[in-house]
Amino acid sequence: MRIDCDVVVVGGGPAGSHTAMAVARFSKQNIRVVLIDRNERSEFGKKTRRGWTCGDAVSKRSLEFVMENLGIMYERPEIEHEVDGVLVISPDHETKVLFDGEGYLLNRKLWPQKQLQYLEKFGVEVLFGVDARQLIAEDNRIVGVKGTSRDGEPVEVRAKVVVDASGSASVLRSNLPIESYVEREIDKENDMEATGRYILEFDRVVEDETWFDPRYCIIHLDQFLAPGGYCWTFPKGESKVNIGLGVQKTALDRRNAAYGLRDNLTSLIDQYVRANRAIVNPREPEGYPDQGNTYSTWQVPVRRQNDCMVANGYVVVGDAAWMPRPIDAGGLGPSLYGSVILGRNVVRAIEENDVSQDGLWGYNVEYVRVYGYQMAGFEVLRRYLQTLPNDDISFGMKHFLSEDDIESIKRREHPRFPLLTNFLRVLLDAELRRRVRERPKLARSLAYVANKSRRLIKHYLNYPERSADFPRWRAQLLRELKEANERLGLT
């Protein structure tokens, strides 16, 4: 099969579907958009063989952004449950920090079916059951993609722009066959989280709001149960949860070696479910729509987004572009913002007849300005927090996190740790001075991370408008990150 079109999108996850919708929606000319997903229609958007692996939580703000910009509507049943915010609980369970911020728990299996209705309404042609294997290059430009259908037939889709939304294991990005600034690989040991979750029903007989609360997504920080990551219990109803955790591979190896243990992701998730005292008699829901989606594991990139997300005729979005937030691995919000921004820029490039790296460059600039500018700072903070023992995390949450920081985190901004960075405040507050003296290294490092984040944000706000200035900008970024890693002992 061979198809010629204007834009081919690879991957029918949230990033690919919404980018395809955005291109179709924003184009004034009749742009032909084709979307390829390797799943059949009934399993559209399925991430792995085992399911639509996700914690299912998305902020109200992100979902409203995509609905308003694309003129679409999500409601029940694809929205399963509403929450008032996120509660983060320290390892010693003594400090609970409530980050307000309404959100939704999605049904990730039903959501893509609603997306399909909109894709078809917007005139996007969807090819089901096609596995994209390879980009087609001519004269240092990407001009299409090759793949295979379920029955082994070759499929070739030629397009002016190929959108790579094929998720964190993208083979297209890894094997990008032209010269470009797009980074092909991530540091898998340090910048990828191994994650997994169950969807479970249970008997609501033990009321303990630090373990389950239908009004809040609960995050438990615990370097023993989730080394280099965190555990979550997200409500999907009054007695239903999405429960799981993420770990960093090197942190898990260190922890196993230190305790002489041989835990893996699955054994840790099972331990967490057992440790959760509110989840009594847990069982996998039977029947539609959860059947076939009750347990699965997958990987999430937790680095800053790819420093450059465009090449001649090629763009990358969502997990394939390493968009999830480094601090909490939330990837739905950035995918939705990224899709709308990308759709607008692809349409502009096609209408201006320039789909080169320069013609598509505006996507890099706009994404960084709207969403991506904070991610390198979060990357440094995440890397540092991953090295801390439970004891330091509990201490820091109790004594060094201020109201200002909580407000910042609510706005999804970097905490500035004013208790530690404001010299006068430390000088005038005897109790704070005592705490700083108790953990001088922790206090110094958190203050350093806050200042470094400020510098990184400033650097990102100067993201180059033209590709020619990119190498210099990136060299400076790498210097900043190297200095942070050395200073924090993260090399």
Residues that bind ligand FAD (CB under 6 A): 10-16, 36-39, 45-47, 53-58, 131-132, 165-167, 195-197, 244, 298, 300, 318-320, 324, 329-333, 335
**What share of residues in the chain are helix, strand, coil (percent, to 5)?**
40, 25, 35
Specify the amino acid at residue 485: N
Q: CA 391 to CA 405: how far, in whole Å?
A: 20
Nearer to ligand FAD, 49 or 441 (CB): 49
At which residue do the structure tokens 């054994």 appear? 267
Q: CA 463 to CA 310: how far, in whole Å?
A: 14
Which residue's CB comes closest to ligand FAD?
331
Nearer to ligand FAD, 63 or 456 (CB): 63
- Residue 171: CB minimum distance to ligand FAD, A: 6
Q: Angle at which helices 470-487 and 440-461 pack, to 10 degrees? A: 180
Nearer to ligand FAD, 322 or 400 (CB): 322
Q: Is the dihedral of CA 327, 332, 333, 334 positive or negative?
A: positive
- Residue 431: CB minimum distance to ligand FAD, A: 37
Nearer to ligand FAD, 83 or 436 (CB): 83
- Residue 46: CB minimum distance to ligand FAD, A: 6
- Residue 451: CB minimum distance to ligand FAD, A: 28
Q: CA 262 to CA 273: how far, in whole Å?
A: 18
- Residue 78: CB minimum distance to ligand FAD, A: 14
DSSP type of residue 319: G
Q: CA 447 to CA 396: how far, in whole Å?
A: 12
- Residue 121: CB minimum distance to ligand FAD, A: 20
Nearer to ligand FAD, 327 or 419 (CB): 327
HSE of 445, CA atoms in CB hemisphere, 13 A:
23
Nearer to ligand FAD, 10 or 116 (CB): 10
- Residue 419: CB minimum distance to ligand FAD, A: 29
Nearer to ligand FAD, 173 or 399 (CB): 173
Dig out the tokens for 96 from the structure.
């609970």
- Residue 10: CB minimum distance to ligand FAD, A: 5
DSSP type of residue 364: H
Neighbouring-strand partners of residue 454: none
How many CB atoms sit inside 10 A of residue 75's CB? 9
Nearer to ligand FAD, 232 or 395 (CB): 232
CA proximity to 38, closest of 172, 153, 147: 147
